[in-house]
Amino acid sequence: MYYQYNPNDTVWGLPLYWGHATSKDLSVWEDQVPAIGPDNDDDGIFSGSIVVDHNNTTGFFDDSIHPDQRVVAIYTLHTSEKQTQDLAYSLDGGYTFTKYSGNPVLDVNSTQFRDPKVFWHEPTNQWIMVLAKSQEFKIQIFGSIDLKSWSLHSNFSSGLYGFQYECPGLVEVPIENSTETKWVMFLAINPGMPLGGSANQYFVGHFDGFTFVPDDTQTRLQDWGKDYYAFQAFSDVPKEMGVLGLAWASNWQYANKVPTSGWRSSMSVARNHTLKNIAINPETKVLSLVQKPVLGSTVQKTNLIDQDFCIFGKNTLVNATASQSGVFEIDFTFKVHKTTELQKTLELEIISNTKDGKTESIRTGFDVDGGSFYVDRGIDNAFNKNPFFTDKTSAYVDPMEYDDSGLPIYKFYAIVDKNILEVYLNDGAATLTNTFFMSDGFTPESVVLSSTCSSTFEVKSEINELTI
């Protein structure tokens, strides 16, 4: 994984490098030496992508370099004058790079032209690049046979505008329970998304190697939380492993001000992606992205709670306390019974003790009257008074299924990773990703599942502590 890295500060700024981390299972990551840096401190190596040039289309490699080690980086070089697309190649599998002497390989004399995502398109035997003409709200699609000379094929522009487009992606995604696939165009917006600040949208459609045509005009949000931005899929992943990717778990509204020490931001858990026809109401199904978390082989689970279906009353509590990891896996399935009670909420509270003996917590759950899941990260501390660090987000999903008596069934899965809460609803039909910050850097120690009503919810629950 390569990411934007400022060696001089814990906030984004110039000079900007590509940081580098490696993993064998997408869960445990090892820092490496920064991979690519600018020649001048006033410049930046902005976002881009990595490809493996198996067939040496660039001519950068000889037979001494194994085809699987022929790594090429395509990135935006940002200077005070303009943004151009440059190449660098690696002879050691992506740890060190040599910049191509013929850079730039793509220059349209623009200051807002960035974030190339490149992949090999086998049917048309060419490299494809998608990148953002950011403030013209265009995703441009280019083609090349050698990564050096590029031709413009088409432009794509659709969906919400916001202030600018960034960090696009174009990926072929399998449809569940089918041999068919569809192409998905991802693009990021910052600022101006309805939830506030930065977020991702996506479009499902057809790509013939030259033009992306969406199936419909609908804008689909990739995540319903505040902290999931600039999603990218990993390159050169074997098809049997699926479409794997992750995002930056932050929001430009407050990214530079979060109360951390020695670090600033982090990535989400890696996710696997498919498409599925999902009911968005009782009468309509829409082909939508399904996202499921990837927990690698190094992740160890210690079971804290494992409880079969039972009626969850007002006085019923499921209380799980972990050691010092601050990392939980929470999985519960519930049925909703009809009731005349006014308060009908099933709630999970994530709790931390502070150094003055008090407790702080965030909440997530399901409200029957609203028909939605929610996250409330409101904590009474100094950072949470930031007006852009809004406390509440929510997502609607139709019931996953109905039991034999007609009761609606929902599934809730979450990973709490120190200061990130990732919620996956109905096996990934919708997600909410939100960061949170307890006072003095404390992390969660326990989770409590409770209900505001006596007989509405019938719940099956499992809670594990995760360690590596």
Domains of the chain, first to last: 2-271 (2.115.10.20), 300-467 (2.60.120.560)
CA distances from 145 to 56, 118, 151, 381, 463 (A): 11, 12, 10, 55, 51
Instruction: Yes or no: say if 137 and 161 are a contact pair by the CB < 8 Å rule.
Output: yes
Confidence (pLDDT) at 210? 99
Q: Give dist(CA 79, CA 383) in Å, integer.
A: 34
Location of structure tokens 């702080």: 360
Amino acid residing at 361? S
Nearest to 410 by CA among 310, 309, 307, 334: 334
Confidence (pLDDT) at 436? 96
> What is the sign of the dihedral through the CA atoms of 69, 292, 442 and 3?
positive
Confidence (pLDDT) at 31? 97
Instruction: Yes or no: say if 319 and 463 are a contact pair by the CB < 8 Å rule.
Output: no
Could you tell me which residues are beta bridge partners of residue 320? 447
Pairing mode, if any, of strands 212-214 and 199-207? antiparallel
Nearest to 7 by CA among 20, 24, 23, 22: 20
Pairing mode, if any, of strands 430-435 and 220-221? unpaired
Amino acid residing at 229? Y
DSSP label of 269: P
CA distances from 419 to 25, 248, 262, 329 (A): 21, 14, 15, 14
> What is the sign of the dihedral through the CA atoms of 290, 296, 299 and 302?
positive
Nearest to 289 by CA among 414, 205, 380: 205
Of the chain, the end-to-end C-alpha distance in Å amounts to 19
Location of structure tokens 């989400």: 268
Confidence (pLDDT) at 183? 99
> What is the sign of the dihedral through the CA atoms of 136, 138, 142 and 148?
positive
Q: What is the chain's pLDDT, residue by residue, as a tens digit (468 residues)?
A: 999 999 999 999 999 999 999 999 999 999 999 999 999 999 999 999 999 999 999 999 999 999 999 999 999 999 999 999 999 999 999 999 999 999 999 999 999 999 999 999 999 999 999 999 999 999 999 999 999 999 999 999 999 999 999 999 999 999 999 999 999 999 999 999 989 999 999 999 999 999 999 999 889 999 999 999 999 999 999 989 999 999 999 999 999 999 998 889 999 999 999 999 999 988 999 999 999 999 999 999 999 999 999 998 887 789 999 777 899 999 999 999 998 887 789 999 999 988 778 899 999 999 999 999 999 999 878 788 889 999 999 999 999 999 999 999 999 999 999 999 999 999 999 999 999 999 988 999 999 999 999 889 999 999 999 999
Query: pTM, whole model, 2 decimals?
Result: 0.97
DSSP label of 175: B
Proportion of the chain in helix, strand, coil states, percent, rounded to 5:
5, 50, 45
Neighbour-count burial of 66, counting CB atoms closer than 10 A to its CB (0-12 exposed, 13-18 middle, 19+ buried): exposed
Location of structure tokens 């899929």: 233
CA distances from 248 to 24, 165, 435 (A): 20, 16, 11
Location of structure tokens 């060696």: 7
What are 425's two structure tokens? Answer: 């609803």
Cα angle: 131, vertex 11, 32; to 5 degrees: 75
Confidence (pLDDT) at 14? 97
Location of structure tokens 């990130």: 420
Instruction: Yes or no: say if 150 and 156 are a contact pair by the CB < 8 Å rule.
Output: no
Q: Give dist(CA 368, CA 79) in Å, integer.
A: 53
